[in-house]
Structure 1
Amino acid sequence: MQESAQFFKALADDKRLRIIHLLGGGEQCACFLQKEMDLTQSGLSYHMKLLTIAGIVKARPDGRWIHYSLAEDFISNANQKIKQVLES
């Protein structure tokens, strides 16, 4: 249950949902997300850390920047977590 709670907590924020929406179009550089979201570097890092820990987003370092994308199994993982909550 703890893992499901962490997953849904990561989704329960309008900024993080917007980040997921932006990543729905494919991998994006942190610099792009920071500009689009009008966030400071530390603000973006906070949101990305929560999304990464929850398994929603994956990070790929590239030089001084990090590139983010949705985890391949994001949708199936969400479905599985919903089923777990309903069955418990």
Structure 2
Amino acid sequence: MTPTTTDAPDCTEAAALLHAVADPARLAVVRRLAESPACVCVLQEQMPIALNLLSYHLKVLRVANLVTSSRRGRWIDYALTSDALERLHATLPSPPAGHPSGIAGGGEVAAPQEYAATCLPQCGDQPQ
């Protein structure tokens, strides 16, 4: 589906949010902070990247308003913003009820080959 002009601002914001978590290190930080807030020293222990790169990734997440920071002495604590996960979830469309993805329909998520076998013939395409 092609976005209409009224969808453009929503798509621009959604793309910016998705871009912010598109890097594996940033996605790992978001997943870790979804569990609980953490000091940068804890994140550094859990992330196999240099501190300057971790700082850069945290800055990208802060600019996207997905992460907040607060100083505690010489350390900085990071947490997800209260609406970070909801905003990220809202960037993706929900499948219609009964769709093979199962998310909206309440079933199991289909494996890629099951999805292809179920959806592609309906679209007129043949699985490769």
Q: Distance in 1 between matches of 2:46 and 2:89?
A: 28
Contiguous gaps of at least 5 residues in structure 2: 1-10, 94-128
Higher strand proportion:
1
**RMSD, aligned α-carbons:** 1.5
- Aligned AA (2:50): T
Q: How many residues align?
A: 83
How much does 1:29 deviate? 0.4
| Paired position in structure 1 for 2:78 | 68
Indicate the structure (1 or 2) with the bigger Cα radius of gyration. Answer: 2
TM-score (norm 1): 0.81
Which structure: greater helix fraction? 1
Instruction: Give the SS at the match of 1:61.
Output: strand
Confirm or deny that 1:42 pairs with 2:55: no
Instruction: Write the distance in 2 (CA, Å) between the matches of 1:32 and 1:48.
Output: 13
Runs of 4+ with >4 A deviation = none
Task: Give the distance between the partners of 1:29 and 1:47, measured in 2 at CA.
Answer: 15
Aligned to 1:86: none
Give 2:14's match in structure 1, choosing from 4, 15, 18: 4
Unmatched segments (≥5 aa) in structure 1: 84-88
The higher-RCO structure (CA 8 Å, 6+ apart) is 1
- CA distance in 2: counterparts of 1:27 and 1:6, whole angstroms: 23
1:42 and 1:35 map into 2 onto residues whose CA distance is 13
Q: How far apart, CA to CA, are the structure 1 residues paired with 2:24 and 2:61? A: 13
Question: Offset at 1:5?
Answer: 2.3
Report whether the alignment pairs 1:29 with 2:39.
Answer: yes
Indicate which of 5, 12, 29 corresponds to 1:19.
Answer: 29
**CA-to-partner distance for each residue in 1:48-67, whole Å, 9 max, x for gaps?**
00111111111111111110
